[in-house]
Amino acid sequence: MNTLSLRRPLIRFSLLAMALGLTGAVWAQAAKWPSKPIKIVVAFPPGGLTDAYARNYGDYLSSKLGVPVVIENKPGAGAIIGIDAVAKSPADGYTFSMSTSGTYWQNRILYSKLPYNLDKDLTPVTVFPSGPLVVGIHDKIPAKNMAEFVAWAKKNPTSMGTYAPGSYPHMVADQTNRRQGTQIQSVHYKGEAAMWLDVASGQSQIAIGSFQAFNAMASRGVRAIGVTGSYRSPKLPDVPTLTEQGNTEKLVTLEGGLPLVAPAGTPEAILKRMADEAVAWSNTDKAAKLRETFAIPNKPKNLADTRKDWEGEVPVWIKLAVDLGIKLD
């Protein structure tokens, strides 16, 4: 046997030992997680549903993991600023992002250029449900349902308040214009509070958003004429869904959510732990109170089910964005 033949098994053994050593180092590092504060970047200002979810879940997560969980609000540019900060962060399990589903799913169509790749730079952890969204109008507008509002909008200057460019209400406004012949102008806000305030004052005529944010203005000049999704809001049982009102568009039947995502390459064990803690948190009294406040009947799912939903739902949302043809740049 020549020297080369003897060296080959030794080389293979050395490479195997190195691989095992590196793997052991990776597992040792993962086993130490978390060893410093975890940051959740919220792409919207404080006060809305996204922020409420992040802070409530963050408090629970901190108590379970034994490290601070810092909530950092980075609103602006249709959530691009906040998402970009996380997309460019190390994939070490210490930085996550929360925003609306549309900003993760549809922004790849709505914007010609993004500073990150939504398919390659980010990975889902779980989705916090948003429940039915409320369609609310200025109280003095003589409309009892969406059809009557559309008829009114055809004769009057009308603006739709949205909580971000490319958001769900922005898409509803655009679809209504295309299908009904209206000229509803979308007015974008950095979150819901200012949006609903302008509807209450009559500055805008209609908006779509979470129950809690709507309800804060319900006694100050805002009235519900419908809800989105496939079922009525538990807090507004007498307000029919847009589908019940005869709207057959796929968009109004969909229920978005607030995904928690991580930089791509974050260790699988960490992604699973974060999702499992979200599921465990959803069964606490504080989580139940939050859902009751925002009229949300459903709960976040584990990592495997989240990925399954992601694969099935994202293409539907993307196709809607393509069909509407909205471009934001």
Last residue of a domain, one of 193, 221, 253: 253
Say if residue 223 is in the same domain as residue 209.
yes
For the domain that residue 47 is a member of, what is the CATH number? 3.40.190.150
Residues 205 and 298 reside in one and the same domain: no
Q: Which of 253, 271, 300 is at the close of a domain?
A: 253
Asked if residue 183 belongs to a domain, the reply is yes
Residue 235 included in any domain: yes
**Of 191, 199, 186, 154, residue with least CA distance to 326:** 186
Mean pLDDT value across residues 75-100: 94
In a domain, 75, yes or no: yes
Q: Are residues 108 and 147 in the same domain?
A: no
- Give the CATH number, domain containing residue 221: 3.40.190.10
> Are 140 and 245 within one domain?
yes
Torsions phi, psi for 275 (to 5 deg):
-70, -40
Report the distance separating Cα 29 and Cα 11, nearest Å.
Answer: 27
Question: Which amino acid is located at 153 in the chain?
Answer: A
Number of helices followed by number of strands (H, E) in the chain:
12, 10
- Mean pLDDT computed over every residue of the chain: 88
**Is there a domain that residue 6 lies in?**
no
Residues 91, 238: one domain?
no
Q: Are residues 234 and 247 in the same domain?
A: yes
Q: How does residue 320 score in pLDDT terms, banded at 50, 70 and 90?
A: confident
Q: Write out the residue range of the structural domain in which residue 312 sits.
A: 35-130+257-324
- The share of the chain scoring above pLDDT 90, in percent, equals 66
Task: Say how many domains are in the chain.
Answer: 2
* pLDDT tens per residue across span 146-192: 999 999 999 999 999 998 877 889 989 999 999 999 999 999 988 88
How far is 160 from 170, CA to CA, in rounded Å? Answer: 7
Task: For residue range 188-237, list pLDDT tens digits in order.
Answer: 988 888 999 999 999 999 999 999 899 999 999 999 999 999 899 999 99
Same domain, yes or no, for 273 and 215?
no
Angle between helices 303-324 and 168-180 (to 10 degrees): 40
The pLDDT confidence band at residue 20, using thresholds 50, 70 and 90, is: very low
